[in-house]
Every structure is written in C-alpha cells, then in structure tokens.
Chains A and B, each alone.
Chain A
C-alpha cells in the first residue's frame, strides 16, 4: 500500500472521524506536495495531535510519534548510544560488545528515515522543550539526513516523511525554524463546524439536545474571566456524559426567567476557580430578577 511519492502525492480530505476545514486540508496537502514540515498551533483541545493520527490513517501511512517533554533533547530523536549496556556486556564477556552498532538505539527520526514507505512523523508539543531544540533539528528536518559519529555513517531518509509539529505557544519558536515550515492556526470552530464535529462523534444525538447543549456551551465560552475556556474535546466528553445520563433537552433549556446551571458542568469547567466563578455568575443572574 505504498503511496507514489513524487509523481502524484495522495491528498488529504478529512476523514469520517475528523472534520477538517478547507484551509487545514490545503495546509496538509501543501506540506505533502512540497515535503515541508507543517506546524500546527491552536487552543488546547482543538484536535492538533489528532490531525496527525487522522492524516496517517486517511493516507494509509504509518504514524511515528515523538512526544516532547521539557527534558527532551534533539539527539534523542536521532539515536542514543547505550554505554552502560556496553560496559556491562564487556564485563560479562559477551561477543556483542565488539560491534558498537548493537548499542546504538534508533530514535523516532531514524525510524522514519529508515522506513520503507513514507511515514507521518508527529513531533508533539515542540514548545515544551528548550529554545535550542528546534534549532538542533533544523538540518535534520531540512536535509533529511544526519551523521552517526559512533559508527561513522550517514543516515539519509529513503522517503521524506510528512512532519507534523504541534505547539501550544508556550514558547516562541526560532525564526530560522519557522521559515522552513508551513503554518496553520486551528481557529476555534464556529457553531456550524462544531455541529459537524459533534455529528461524527455522536451520530445519533437528538437534534434538540445538541442545539440546547451547544447553546449553553457557547454561553459558557463567552463568559469573561474564565481561566480555561472549554474546548472541542471537553464538549465531546460532556455530550458523552449527557447521553450516558439520558439528560433531556429540557434540562438544558434556559430562558429569561430560568437561568440554571447545566447538568454535569464539571466536564466543561475543570478549574476550581472557574467553577466557582461560573456558579456565582449564575446565582447573581437569578437574584437580579
């Protein structure tokens, strides 16, 4: 199931479980055609990481994931040299010890380069690492090759992987790195897109329940002063709970006389302060009348 790499790259057009807007599709296809990395930013919970999974599935390409932490070094994505095992083996007189190759552990990038078919490589939350991290990967991502000093060999990609990088914008990324990427900002979905997104996750949701739920959801999002506004993934979870509880749409309806706290609102607001603020606002609204 190989994709023809250079002649006609496959195109991505969303999938049955992921709603992609037109500009997101274009960004993925541009990255595929020009073989450049794609940098995705956006509010947490808008489906940045899911995009890589869905692209890999839709194009039938294997997905390699590299989740970045504050301690991750660029070198770990290439390879690591396991000196401790080698020392132990040499003391035990293992024959393996003569070949240093046995102690080189391939990183995610190496795996992607060595793969027999084009892969999707996800570098998740690149802003978690320190500022030098993206710079250290510049050449590897640009030229798709790197040098292994221990064995003196040059590893070059057989197929350029589709690199998808996500960032939560906790740190600025270096300019030199940005220049080489395509950039897409996942905006918060509007009500119509949100309806489509909910439809693929909960296909048999009653229309009136959805309408009522979406109304309260956007109302909560519009509240000023919330520390963490609920996002798409919270909405999906909340709907799942509402369905499991068998909540009727009437329980969600609110009008001028009837301001209420929506059931299971803990699924939407996960911050103690936000919860209190929300409850206080609702009570205030009620007392005003």
Chain B
C-alpha cells in the first residue's frame, strides 16, 4: 500500500525512511484522519517530512503522484441524471417533489421560450 508513493518521494530526493513510512501506515490504520486527500496530505507531511526546506519538493512529488489517481476518478463514467433523480424521489418529501416539479416546468418553459425567440429572429 502506497509503496509507489514512497518511492516517488525517494525519487524526488526527499530523505524519507522506512520507519517513517510505517508510522504513516500505522496512523492510517488507526484512523487518525478522515478519508480525504487534504487530510492525507497533511498527515503524510507531518510524518514523512522533518524539515521545512523539503516542503516544496514534497508538494511536487505529492502532486505528481496523486495527479494520476485523480485522472482515474475523472475517467469514471458519469452517473446518469435520471438514475440520480429516481434516487432523490425516494428521499424527498411531497412538498419538495412539488417544488422540483415547478423548477422542471420552469426550465421547460424557458427552453420553449428561447426556441420561439430564435425562430422569431430568423423570420425577421
């Protein structure tokens, strides 16, 4: 786990040791942080970096490593809107559903309005 990350830091010529890396894994196991990339960044920095002069290099190595991972997330197919709406229908109260209906109606109205507008322009 995270071995590649460790070697990425090594490659960036940051003095990291195995002991510190194990501490980081231990901290993750103990649930010191909530699962977020920002919290992980801070945790990794306090465990692995012991001199503020390496902060910049750490930022770069961290960015380079996690850039790839964010791309993977971005590649995931988008969840279809219809599916999400169906999910919402189950949670929403009757009033909220009515409000949603109104918004949908308003959007549809605006769309037809712009279409008629465009048509009107073309004809003149």
Contacts and interface: CB of A to CB of B under 8 A. Distances in A.
A in complex with B: yes
Interface of A: 22-23, 26-27, 29-30, 33-34, 36, 39, 41, 175, 178-185
Given A26-B33, A34-B30, 9 more contacts: A23-B42, A23-B45, A23-B46, A26-B43, A30-B43, A41-B52, A179-B50, A181-B50, A185-B55
B50 A27 contact: no
Nearest to A172: B51
A26 B32 contact: yes
B94 interface: no
B45 to A, nearest CB: 8
25 contacts: A23-B42, A23-B46, A26-B32, A26-B42, A26-B43, A26-B46, A27-B42, A29-B32, A30-B27, A33-B30, A34-B23, A34-B27, A36-B23, A39-B50, A175-B15, A175-B50, A179-B17, A179-B19, A179-B50, A180-B19, A182-B46, A183-B46, A183-B49, A183-B51, A184-B46
B26 interface: yes
Nearest to A185: B52
Interface string B32-74: 1100000100110111011110010000000000000000000
A30 B32 contact: yes
B96 interface: no
Contacts of A30: 27, 32, 43, 46-47
A23 B15 CA distance: 21
Interface of B: 15, 17, 19-20, 23, 26-27, 30, 32-33, 39, 42-43, 45-47, 49-52, 55
B30 to A, nearest CB: 5
Contacts of B32: 26, 29-30, 33-34
What is the predominant secondary structure among interface residues of chain B facing chain A? helix
Contacts of B42: 22-23, 26-27
Nearest to A42: B52
B17 to A, nearest CB: 5
B27 A178 contact: no
B58 to A, nearest CB: 11
Contacts of B52: 41, 185
A179 B22 CA distance: 11
Nearest to A182: B46
A43 to B, nearest CB: 11
Contacts of A175: 15, 50
B27 A27 contact: no
Contacts of A39: 50
A40 to B, nearest CB: 10
A25 B29 CA distance: 19
B28 to A, nearest CB: 10
A137 B51 CA distance: 20
A182 B33 contact: no
B20 A179 contact: yes
A138 B102 CA distance: 69
A100 B119 CA distance: 105
